[in-house]
A and B are shown apart, each in its own frame.
Chain A
Amino acid sequence: MAHADLLNLTIAQAAPKLERRELSPVELTEAMLARIAAVNKRLNAYITVCDQQAREAAQAVERLIRAGYYLGPLHGIPIALKDNIYTRGIRTTAGAKILADFVPDEDATVTARLKRAGAIIVGKANMHEFAWGGTTDNPHYGTCRNPWNPERFPAGSSGGSGAAVAARTCLGALGTDTGGSIRLPSAVNGIVGIRPTIGRVSNYNVVPLAWTMDTVSPMTRTVEDCLTMFEVVAGHDPLDAHSAQVPVADYRAELGRGMRGLRIGLIRDYSLTHVQKAVGDAVRSALKTMERLGAQVEEIAMPSIHGNISAQLTIESCEPSTYHQEWLRARPQDYGEDVRTLLEMGEMYLATHYLQAQRYRSVLRKEFLAGFKQVDVFVTPTLPFTATPCGATEVVIENDRKEDMLSAIMQFTGVPSLAGLPALSLPVGFDPDGMPVGMQIIGRPFDEGTLFRIGHAYQGETDWHTRAPKL
């Protein structure tokens, strides 16, 4: 196949070619490594490119296929991992100077599961330092940039994973999501990403940010590819104390069921409030498409929704500061300025602030569970604005008023994080500058299947996900 054709393959398109030996894992991996070499200087999407290990893995999985052992739809698929996910024998920095020389002697559970499925790790993706921030403006490994416009940010903290997938340097990636770190870069890079229900995917051997909210999950170009990676990484892990003993559903059975009969909720005075015009227009248009496909949209009141940003900031301040307590005293100069400041401030909350924020989660979750008696999912934009210039610390959403980036970016993604609910982000349009807009769909606990169902049906009717940035 021509090089350009290889780059645009989705997992669903590449897998049958690999199985039938019309395409070799070595050929596909070499195409991705060449693409990384061509674009990574401009994007800084990777902290470590695993050329040698990827080539060796590609040859090994190719031998398996030739011997008649096909492991499934990830066999021979090049992927990237966020650099806070342990990889045995490959350094895992978490985007931090403090872990610059850390080479794990074992894999994360998710890494091991992907390897067992035959996936090939081409690199470790850039990220916001220790995942504590939403820009991937990394002072130690360089600013990651958005493939749609390298002057704009890729969001974060899994910005490298988002940029790597959008730039066609891999067919899928893993990110981590505490308060939005998969969904935010998925939205601004024009790709798909899912935050799972807490406990659905193992966090074992993943550098933590906030223990009570952390999750790991895939980022891909299509919903179907996202499902393909998700069904490999999902499931109970006895090594993770927070892992759920809930059977993994047959997500693939949800594809093709369409949207007829589904009830979609908008949260009153929230879902479409305080957003840039292009973002609101794109999400409203997506809702019309979903109605045309047979879904019903209705508004639901959720009286406690507006405490979410403070609760998220409080929990995301206190828990990381607890984890980093020793390093913050021993090596404060080794943190970037923004993360160091956040970690210092996280030590200055009162215990009552933290516990009230954790109690708020109970109230928010109860309101969502009540809402799910009336609707199947809730919809919001993924974030209220499109990609800002790299380095920006403030953003204008409406009325020319500048707002703090960290609070503004959490407006919608913090809610499912706090309530422990799964949420999918998928592309639903572009702003007048050609920057992608993402929509977030929030589901019931452990009902990722309905999110895949809706997202797949939507992508069957639209072509946003097929568009590629010109690099």
Chain B
Amino acid sequence: MAKKEEPVTRETVDRLCVLADLPLAADRRGKLAAPLAGLVAAANELSRKMAEGSRRGVLPITRFPEL
């Protein structure tokens, strides 16, 4: 069963800014939490699907085979 998402909060954004060495002003950090929550939730859902055992052998595409 999928784990319930923790919402991305202002504090989450603060921590991510430190991790990314991205010095954002307080007003900007406040603006990011809500839209980022939606993006991260969708990315986590895709990650869960891609992490399934049946897909363990799938390689990432960063360059197309024809090249």
Q: Mark B1-42, 1 if CB is under 8 A from A, else 0.
A: 000000000000100110010111000100110011001101
Q: In the bound complex, what is the Cα–Cα distance between A244 and B67 (angstroms)?
A: 5
Q: How far is the CB of A455 from chain B (nearest CB, A)?
A: 23
A212 touches B61 (CB 8 A): yes
Interface hit among A311-319, A370-378, A379-387: A311-319
Q: How many A-B residue pairs have CB under 8 A?
A: 103
Q: How far is the CB of A227 from chain B (nearest CB, A)?
A: 21
By a CB distance below 8 angstroms, the chain A residues around B66 are 197, 199, 244, 246, 445-446
Prevailing SS type, chain A contact patch: helix
Q: How far is the CB of B56 from chain A (nearest CB, A)?
A: 10
Q: In the bound complex, what is the Cα–Cα distance between A35 and B13 (angstroms)?
A: 49
Which listed residue (A197, A242, A341, A359) contacts B58, Cβ 8 A?
Answer: A359
A363 touches B36 (CB 8 A): no
Question: Which residues of A in the span 188-227 have a Cβ within 8 Å of any Cβ on B?
Answer: 197-199, 212
B50 touches A329 (CB 8 A): no
By a CB distance below 8 angstroms, the chain B residues around A348 are 13, 16-17, 20, 32, 36, 40
By a CB distance below 8 angstroms, the chain B residues around A446 are 66
B50 touches A360 (CB 8 A): yes
Which residue from chain B places its CB closest to the CB of A445 in the assembled complex?
A: B66
Q: Mark A267-305, 1 if CB is under 8 A from B, else 0.
A: 000000000000000000000000000000000000000
By a CB distance below 8 angstroms, the chain B residues around A362 are 58-61
Q: How far is the CB of B62 from chain A (nearest CB, A)?
A: 5
By a CB distance below 8 angstroms, the chain A residues around B28 are 344
By a CB distance below 8 angstroms, the chain A residues around B55 are 359, 363
Residue A365 CB within 8 A of the other chain? yes
Question: Which residues of A in the span 227-270 have a Cβ within 8 Å of any Cβ on B?
Answer: 242-246
A242 touches B63 (CB 8 A): yes
Which residue from chain B places its CB closest to the CB of A200 in the assembled complex?
A: B66
Q: In the bound complex, what is the Cα–Cα distance between A360 and B63 (angstroms)?
A: 14
Interface hit among A10-18, A41-49, A178-186, A349-357: A349-357
Q: How far is the CB of A334 from chain B (nearest CB, A)?
A: 14
Residue A89 CB within 8 A of the other chain? no
Q: In the bound complex, what is the Cα–Cα distance between A335 and B22 (angstroms)?
A: 16
Q: How far is the CB of A399 from chain B (nearest CB, A)?
A: 20
B46 touches A345 (CB 8 A): no
Q: How far is the CB of B17 from chain A (nearest CB, A)?
A: 8
Interface residues of A (CB under 8 A from B): 197-199, 212, 242-246, 307, 309-311, 313-314, 317, 328-329, 341, 344-345, 347-350, 352-353, 355-363, 365, 420, 445-446
The 6 closest A-B pairs by CB, nearest first: A358-B60, A310-B42, A353-B43, A361-B61, A356-B50, A356-B47
What are 10 of the A-B contact pairs (CB < 8 Å)?
Answer: A199-B66, A212-B62, A314-B46, A341-B31, A349-B39, A349-B43, A353-B40, A353-B43, A358-B61, A445-B66
